[in-house]
Structure formats: structure tokens, C-alpha cells
Structure 1
């Protein structure tokens, strides 16, 4: 390696030119796809790689452990690199450059990207032994880096001309190099981040693709998605984990040979299955090509919120409907990506391990990427479905045969199927499922016949009911009249709020006290005392004993319901079948079917039947769903605030559950009204929150109930919400919420988001703020004119140093003065400037201004809060509601508004009365404004910091 290092400095320019020239002759995206090979050949290939990387080691350069007993010196002409796909505590890519006999290493959460606009966070980790660069296999659980390791790419690298001094580049935090790999080619750069990130225990760098003939556009598929498998063996992560042919003991790295080869699991049957799959694929691909070529392209979604059916009293009449038997199981989305399969519940939970037999059959389908919608069931002897047996399979380990009935096709090989009519989707679904094992994987067939006759026949056969779907309907997430469900017997989920003890003395339950949620309150719905087995008695009792409470969770109870009851926290959800609802709104002849682990208690409501689908409307409209929704939208007047102002607003094009749910009792604000408001102000609000990390204040039960902050992404977020990876102070990568579309903003209403708080920097440059915020927080005894005078004072002082500023209400008693700046300062400098600025104000008028947070000292004063100007701090966004009574809004003001006689208050529910302000947005000029803080002001800050 030492020799290699010297030769690089002499010939790097020449080699780079020749290899770049050669690379230009190849197609820009001709990245090779390695085909999977047999287990023995794969193991041999890994052995060869380990030996190859060991031979690259020059032990005279460094005393790093070899991982092997023999020491060889082998001068390598080209510097090696490898990228390992590593499923440890989270999936990431280890980017490793061979240098000075070791692998300089960075952990890249999302892996490399050929789009030059992507700046992928790369956390520098400890150097690794050169031999590790050839490793593919398993690191045992409990050891450092425990998990599965894939050799995703490898090749050689060299410094770019003018950047041959690699040691200097590592010291200075700027590496520029050319890659010659199978998947990764061309010019790249690693740039160490400045500011706080530079001082982390594990320094943060950015991995960036530089402009050349290999770069890709933003809309092009990412190379990590396009090329997911091993560059050496062609295996997937699952296949490597399954085979377990090589093991690396991290704890033995310093002792000598850290890896060993063991006899892998036989793949004889797998090879035969692989050949069969390839044969099927070759036969089916040509049949799909013509149909798929006309469909819009897309990256395969990680999860698609399911389309749901409305409960109906009777089937629809007339033509244009497809009728399917209603299945009694768990709704699941099957997502196949290569040989990897996920089985996701209706809320996006991964239940693959619970239905492994089904997942294995989905993996054999003759398409590379597909997303299916269907239901996992256990078939009874009479051909119907048995939910109790299904639940026993999940909870008791019963060995019932699981069958996945597929009824929709959402994505195939990079194409969006959801815009096709349902009838055409099902035709193509039949092709996808052709040849599948019918025991585990079946098509949910339909009939185009009289819906009422089919419904009666289904009930005669003791089926649960039918689902009727519009033949020409597109797939649309959420509940709509395009899908209707009719049940022969009533059946739905209920929340258990209490139980009674059995009279026979067994360790179980006598009856379950059932309920459902309405407007955030648990409504009593009666009880069920049948349907239990010996096993379910024990399971239920154990679960309920852990939830016992001293008081009832129900809003109201009839007197006889309290007799002998033991109350529990309302967390357990059960499936119940019953004959009908009584006049007292209680279930009649109810029988327990099983525990629902895929449903949260708070989403359980009483299922209401409808007669027919309602026609869709567009443009401006009023609510016309349920009478209760009309009342909520048009007639609620509380505290002098009229909610009817929003009834002429355009509805946001997002799916909401319980749109009439009240989120603010004072103003009558509903979930639908909140979504419509976000949709109406999106054009003005997005420039200040888009492509920034966000913290959201969620109030699921409304402004008067407990609320909480959410800043990290999860599977429960609505469509359109993205993520940005941010390293915390310990170097741990966390996915923060971010968004950029009006649909995503409006979708926040579904989560009960009553406040949006952005960072003061953008995703593309997180370490350099592009705005400063001065928060003027007055004591409640101060008059409005005192606060306006302070805001004018801030503006005057900023103007004196050449900075324009902008004003807004906080939605509370204070004001924000915001200064747009060019993203040049790091966070500590920005914070120090803001601190010094308010200190000067405090010294000039100590009787009015205060810069410390001590509440006891704030009486009669204005707290000048400068702490919004530090990394990770947020402030409420312009146009954002606040989670306070009345639903006030943080609204941009003109400076002339300081002359108003009293503090202006703007509420979401009164949007109609103040929406005219959007025509002359006083913050419009802020977008694109790049001011710089004067050098002399910064010099004072820097002097203070150094002191």
C-alpha cells in the first residue's frame, strides 16, 4: 500500500483521464446486475474476496490487526474501495476507502446517490481492517455491528487531479476522488460538515456526486433501489442471512483471524425454485410489457394507505359493480421487492414473520416488484373464513393453514396501477398470480351479477357478507362510496372497558364490557359472554389483569352494567359478532371472536350503515355526508365564534376519518375544517416550511386535551410526508419529518396537527440558518402599545445595521420579528449574534427588556427570546394554528399593523373574515431575500466567542 500511495501521487492525473475517457464509452446507466449463484459458489466467492482484500494489506504501514495469521506485503497499483450494505440496528451502507493499509470508513444511512443535488450524510467511524472489505455474511447478535453484511459494491478509486494528497484531505475535511466500481462510478466528494457537526464524537461528512457523464436526474431511480443485491454473489440480504456461510466475530478482530466459514444451509431446493421462478418470469414479462408501458412510472411506495369500504344496508343495484365475498381476516398489503417481501397491516405494521408461509409464496411471483392488497384468512371446512382460528394461529401458535386472498393490484415493476379501473387491475392481478400455490395465495374472485341476489345467497351459505366495488373505480386511499360492504351478521371491533368474573370459578372472564369511541369519549355498547375457549379465557384474563383500573373508562353506564364489574384501561380491542343494535344502542346476542392486535383502541368507532354511495363534488361545497357533520360545519356557534364561515371553502383533496370530529370546543373547529384551512393557505405557508425539518404538535382529542410533539417519521404519517436524516449530538441518525406539498400539509389534519414548527435552516444546508427570529414575549399586564413599541425598536435597530425584518403574531400574546439571511453563518455564530443584539437592547432599557428566562423577573417586562436561533430549535410557522382555545393563528403582519388600537387575533374558524389578507402577503418579499450580517457585527461576535 505504501508503494501504491506513492504511485498515486505520480500517476493519478494520467489514470483518471484515461479511465474517465474509457467510462464515457459505456452507457450512462449500464450498471451490472449480478445473478444469484448457488450457496457453495457464493461461499467460495466470499472466500476469494476475503483473501483478495487480505493480500492488499501492507503491514509495514500500520499496526492494525490483520484478521489473519499470515502477513503478506503486496503493493497494489490501484486503491481499493468497497461499499457494504449492513442491516444492524438499522439498515445503512458502509462506505470504505482503502488507504494506508486500512479501510477509512463512513456510515451512510441512505447509501450513495447519483443525483448531484443529494447530499447524503456520512458519519465517519473507526478504521476497519483491510480484510473486512471482502466480507459478506453474519456478525453475531450482541457484537459490535451485529447483523447481516452484504458486499454491495467494490472496485478501485483514485484522488481527482489536484487532490492527490489524501492525508491532507482527511485532515482538512475535503476528499475528491474517482470511483471505478461495478455500481458506483465517476467523480465523488466527501466533505466534512462544519459547525457543531464537526465536533461530534463521530464527525459528520457529506457524500456528494459531482457532475460528470454518470450523474442522474432527481426523478431517476436511485442506484440503491435499482441495484439492491450483492455485487459478488448476487444474493439478497435475506439470502445471506438465511445461508449463514460466513461469520465475523468483531470481538476477535484484534486477536488474529476474526472470520470463519461454516457449512451454509443447503440451497438445493432453493436453486430448483429459483430456476422455476426465472422460467415463469421470462414467460410473463412479455405479456406485461405492452400493458405496463402505458402506465405512469413511480418508485415502488414503501406503503400505500388502503382503500376502505363504507358499511351499507343493502347492495347497490344496476350495472357497473363487481361483487366479492367478504372475508373475515386481517387486511394486509404484500410488498415484494426483488426476493424480499413485507406483509404490512392496514396501518403499515410489519407482520411478515407472523405470516411467513404466505410471504414465501409471494416471493416466488414472477415479477420483480409488486404491491398486492388482500386479506389473510383461515378457511373453514364449509369454505367460509374463520377469524377465531386465524387469531389462534397468531396468539396460540395453532398450525392453521393461512391463505392470502388478493383482491387488488397497486404496483408492478415501477408502474403505478392505482389509476387503472378496478376491472382492469383485477385482470392483470390474475396474470401476476398465475401459477401461484393456491393453498397460500389466491385470487379473490368476483361476480358481475345482481348484488342483492348474491348477498342473500352468501348469507344462506353462512358467509360474512359481500363487498361491492365500482368496476371503473380507481384505487383511492381512505373510505369512500366506491366500495360498499354488507354483512349478513353485524360484526365489528369494540374496546374492552371492563369485565366480570366467571361464576364457575375458573381463571377466566365471565363477560367483556364493550365500548367504542365517539368525540373522544368511550361509549358503552353492552357486553358479550360467549365465544370463549379454555385458551382465550386464560389469554384474556392475563391481558385484562394487567390493565385493571379503579374507575370506569366509560362516559355513562346503565346501573345494571356496573354490577360485579372490574374496570380496565381501554386498550384491548376485540372482534365481536352480534345480531343487531337494540333501541338502547346496545349489541344484542353478541359473541366474542378474537383479539384484534392490528387495531388501536382510539380508532374504534361504531360502524354506521349507508344506503348508497354519495356523488362526488368538486369546487366549493358544503358538507353533505351525515347530519351531524352538517351541524358541526354550519351551525356550531360557541364563544361567539361562528364555524359556518368555513362552509364555502374548497375541500382539501385528502382522506379523513371522522371529518366532523371537534378539535376545538370553543370555536367548533372540526378535522375537515382544519384540513380545508391548511389547503387554503398552503401557497402562502409552504415557502416557510417546505424542505425543512418540522416538529408537529398533535392533539388527537383536540386543543383542550393532552397534546404532544412529534418530529420523527413513522408508518402512521399521511401520504406525502417525507424524511430528512439528521445526526444528533452522539452521531445517531434520526429521520425527521419534512414535507413540500399542499396535499401533505392538508393531510396533517388527519393526525390532529394544530401547530407546525420548522427549523431555521433548510434540508439542503442544515448547519447554516437562513433566518433569525426574535421572540418578544410580554408580561400579560403590558398593554398592546408597549409591545408594538418594542417591535418597532427591534426593527429600527436592525435597519441601522442594514437588515430588513418581517413581523408576525405568535398566535398568543407576543410578536415575532424575523430576519432572512444568507445561509453563511453556522448555528453558534447566529445564536451569538442574536444574543448580543438583545443584550444591547436590555442594557439600553433594563426597566422594559429582559434576556433571561427567569419567569419571576418578567413582571412588567418583555422577554427578548433569542434561543430560537440554535441548531434543533424551532418556532411556530407563519399561518400555523395554535393548540389553544379558539384555534388562533400565527399570522404575518404589515409593519403598519402596529398602529392597530388593540392586539389582533386571527382564528382558523374565522378564516372567511380575514382571508383577504392573503391577497397582500407582507412576507412575500422575504422569499429569496439573502441579506448578510455586517462584518463589524460579526467581528464583535467572534471576539466574544474566542474570549
Structure 2
């Protein structure tokens, strides 16, 4: 069970000094280390006299076509790789990966960088001119928010470069390049300047013409010849201790991680984020690519986009080890999303994270240490663009326990820890161990029960594992399958039905009643909350079928150390009356009515203080989140008045609950969102909290939303009010202000209005207090209307009736910078987050004693 939370209580740049010059020269060390100047014709990393605020944009056809933006500052060129090139359309964000500083002479460089060298490919000077920063460029560069005007041949007007927070494991900073709305801007209907202007300012030649004249990278034979020559060797150390000459293996049995209770400590370990996808070996031989499962099955056709991307690496021969995943918008790998992409997508969302290198160009590296193997691998993949289909799996060397706790709080699956000083050993051993945020493993399907809510669909699965060669039962799984999956499973399982139970021992009548037994040949991945004392899983959720697993390899990954769940919540759930518990409420996630009730059982101590004994507005979706939903503010026919109370608030009628049984009654009624009043039943006319809902308009980045929340907090602090923050479960954030119930609803709304108006007046380009959509493009609507009498906002820890089953989740101001979206926390990962929290993010909420000041504006 999760822990019980604490009780709710423009200026010209200055001339460079000698110290600045020294720092600028030193900042070219990375540039120098990545290049062999006996091979490449690029400018050497030497000092040059500054000539002012110059800029250059170079069109660069390396492994991927992109545009390099370079701004002169402190005697070097600060550089970004703009993956899709600059756009003149305001609001269009272009990912810009911060790369190493370049020498000033690079501003005129144009030519062909030899294959095998860092950034190998053709480069032309696409635009040049001056850049004029607003404010102090040094301070703005340091804080990651540059605003400047470009005076180039092709790019003009005002621009913004904004640093974003990278995903876990990313090596290079990611920024966004945006065009301001001015005379130099274009609309989306206008021609794209990148398509209009394709030639060099210096030579008038295109990339293709320069490449042809440069006689490099012309055909495959030429590429391979160059790739096997001396330049190729410069991409990795010439000698790796333990490496041996050898023939490229057809397949290598993969190394597997042993599950441990706690992550290892000490400096001999490398820690990687655990990925939730398909383990895949990539075999590259003379331009041909094979993708092999951990059993050696050829799945190249299934993951063709990854195979094609690997071909573009132009590696003569290699054997890579990694994981193919699909990430959600928060950057978290999702096995269910991977299966959906495999079934109906084009493979555009596939990502191959490579975490090991077993063979490269005639050398078998398995006897080399992991640290050396990953060093070679990093160099091999070093100039790949950020956000591409092939990515280097970064690692950290900090304390494993700290890292796994952080990963769990972020909603990730866990970490893999590997001994840095050991060779690659096939099979399961102690060199690789995994620490999980939630219990999750493969289980064998032994039978099923038909759905009570849908025809020809599975309602629940009967699961087992092998023990001493015999199949033993481990319980049932009744949530996690979409209607489509439930139907497909039913069709598959009916075709392999058998008359008798496949388990080694006879089951009690209660455990086998109504079960359709099947041949135990299918393996499912299941997430669950632990083991009971008799070896059964608790709260199992189906994640998908594992076609890469042999059923007889499925064993219990940990010894049974659990006990039967005797918590009050579990006892109440057993008595709760849930009709059609297998009815799917979130179709994309396959979460059923039972699954929602189990979720609230586990987090009841966190949500109940925010919803009990308050008037409630309820979003009911009896048929699920994708069917008709409606707000219910009053009692309804068939209401269980023992559990859900009718209450009077002045002349209005509302509903309320008092405990977990009432919450289960809401689940039974198809309530997917709970919106409490900002006041209690005891004092309904005096609000005890205010909510500022930050609703981003089109073109506003997530980082803009985060900054908006911080700006609201800072404004409130300026008038002596403390605030707390939570994700909305949608696109935005909620800033919540606890109050002593003293002011009236009219006073509260007037105050909230004044805050939104003051912020809009101070930053009209960023914020608006107008609800109209036309006023919100590129701005954040600070919704203060949640603070009127009868108006509501979604409760902390309430689910949302949106894709992914997100949950509105309280976070600390300190961890806000690590959050990647407003729907990052979901039914699937919130319980693990709460379990690994050391303190309640809103632990002091109920202890704040403050009232609304007379004015929301700063003096």
C-alpha cells in the first residue's frame, strides 16, 4: 500500500576581457576533440579577433539534413542544430539542439566534411548577417531565454531561442527557435523560405551540386570505401582493451537483468532508465540490417522504419543491443502504445534506444568492459540528431537508490544498473540488475472468463507461472484491455480452448467457476501491486501479449513476501456493489470500472481530504470516456443515498460524499472526474481555496506553461500569499491558494480577476484574462472564473475523462521543472510515484493561515 500522507494542514555586448578571451578559447576544447584536422578542412580551433555580433545559418546534410544556427558571442560561435530549419511562421517551434562552440572562422566555412568525421557531409552557407540581442545576451544565454533581431539576407525580424527541460538521459540541451509576429513573419499559407531558398550565399550552389563537385558521399560503394578507411577509425578508439578480431556473430544470447529489491550503490555501477518495449539486437552487415528478438527471431519487417534508420548510419558491420519503444507526449515509454503502433501505425513513433555495442567493424567487443563499450558506442552515435529514431541510451553514475526514487516519482518504470567494469555476459546474472517502481512481469494465460458487459469479449484472464516445470496459478487480471483487445483475445483464446485446467493441481470450485480453460501457449505482460501470502497477484493490469517469450521460461521473478491485503480500503472494495466491473472506462488504456475502483483504493488517503464533505460537481461517463459524458450537479434517479448524500447549499441542491464507500459509489455511477467546490459543507459561502487554471492557447509550449505558473506564484508571493501547484491532467497547470474561510465568493472572484488582469497588463504577449479563443493564440489564459460560487475545478488526485487516463496531481514547486506535461501522471503510474515520495508535496497546505489582501496588484 502507498504511504499515508501527512495530514492536510537591447544593449551592445561589452568588450571581452582577457579572462573572457581565455574562457572562449577554452570553450573550443570540445570542438577540437571531435575533429581530426589532418582529415577535415574545417577551421582549426584557434583564436580569432571578434568582429561584432555576426551570425550564420549553414545548411548541413550529415546523417540527417538540418540547419546550423551560430551566433557570435564572447569570441566564439554559440551553435544550435535546428533539426527542421528555421520557420518564419509565428508559433511554429523548431527543435534546436545546443552543440559545441565553434571558432569564429567557421562563419564562412562551406565544403564537404569527410565521411567518418564528426558531422560528415556537405555544408553550405545558407544565410549570414548580424544579430542584435535584447537585454544582456550573457545573462539571457545563461538562463536559456534569448530574444534577438536578425539582419540577414534571408532571415530578418525578431526571434526567440528558449531552452527546454530535456528528457531523462538526454546529453545535449534542447532549445526551441521561434519567430515573433512582425513584418518579417509569414503565415502558414505563404511559401516556406526553406523551399524557396536552397542555394549557398557564397557560391550559389545547392547542397547536391557541392556534394557532386566535392566527390564525397556520391554512391554507396564510395561511402563504404571511405567508411573502412582511416577517417572511419577516428570515430572510435583504435584500441579497446579486450577487443578481439572476429567474425560478425549471427546472434548473441542477450544479457538479462536480475530483479532486486533495492538498487546497488557505489561507483562501479552505471544506471540507465528502464525502458518498456521490445528488447532488440540490431545486426548490421554490409548495409543490410536485421532486427532480432531476445530469442533470435527476425522482426525486421515489424520494425522496418528502425531498420531503415540504421542503414543510414552507414556502419559497415556492427551488432547493437537496445530496446525499441514508443514514447508518450511526456517522453515515457509505453508498452501499450508500442503495441498500438505495431498494429495500426506506420512506425513513425518507433524509437530504438541503443545501450550496448557487441561488435564493430571486424572487432568483437564482448570481452571489453561495459564502460569501454559504451564509450565506443557514444562516439559511434555522437552526431545523430536529438529526437531521432536511433538514440544513445544515456547513463548516470550517481547513487542507484536516489536515481530509482527519482525515476519512480517521475512515473517511469524503474532503472537498470550494470557493472561498468565487466564484459558482456549472456543470460541472467548479477552484472545487470533491475529495480522497478511497480511490480511487473510476464505471466502465462491459462484461461479466461467471458465479459459481462460485451459479447464475444474477455472479461478477465486466469494467469500462471512455471515452478519446477509445472504450471501453478497466480490469480486473475480483470483490467487493462481495451474493447478491441478484449475482443481479439476472446477470438484467439476460443481457438485454443481445452476441456480441463492446465494447472498441475486441481483448483477449488470457487476459483474455477465459469472459467474457460486454454492451452497455456500465450504470454502476457502484467503490472500488479504485489503478491498475497498465498502467491496470488494483487490488482493485476494487462499490458499486452509478449510474442517474444516462451511460456515455459515464465517463472515468478521474486519470492513471495507479501500478505493478503487486509487494509480498510480493500475490505470496503470487496463489499462494494460494482455492476459490470469489466466495463471499459478508458478505451485507449483498457482501464475498467474495477480498475478505477482499485486505483482509488490505493490512493484513498491522498484524495479523500480534498473531496469529502464538499459540494461536488461530477463528470459522469457511464459508457466510458469516449462515449457521452455529462456534468451532474444534483442528485439523480437511482442514487444510493446511503453513500452519496443530497445536500442543500443555500437555495441550491448538490451532492457530497463522506468516505471511501461514497467514492466507490461514484465509480459505480460512472464518475470519471470529481470537481469539488472551493468551500466545505460546514462553511459553503466562504471559500477556503482559490484556483488559477493556466490554459495554454495554440502555440504555447509546455515550458511556457511552467513559467506561467511560476509567474503566478511570484505575483502572489509579492502580495504575501503562498500557493501550491498541481498538474491539471490536461494541457495546463493549476496554482492553488489555501485560505482561511473569511472572504465571500464575490470577494474571492474579484480578487482572482485582479490577479489575472495585473499579469495580463504586465505581460500582454504572454498572458490573457479573456476567455475568447482568438485572444489566446500564443498566450496563456489565466482562468480566474473557477473562483465564483458554484464554479469548480478538478480535485487533486481525481482522474480525467481524457486519453491515457490522466490524474490531476499535486507536485512541489521544486520538481515542477522536471515535469514534461500536464497529463504526465496517470492511473498507470501515480501509485508508484506516491509510494516513493518522501514527503507530501502539499503537506503544508492545511497549515497555511492567510486571507485575501485588499488588492491583488503590486504597489
Higher normalized contact order (CA 8 Å, seq sep 6+, divided by chain length): 2
TM-score by length of 2: 0.38
TM-score by length of 1: 0.35
Which has the larger helix fraction? 1
Larger Rg, first or second structure (1 or 2): 1
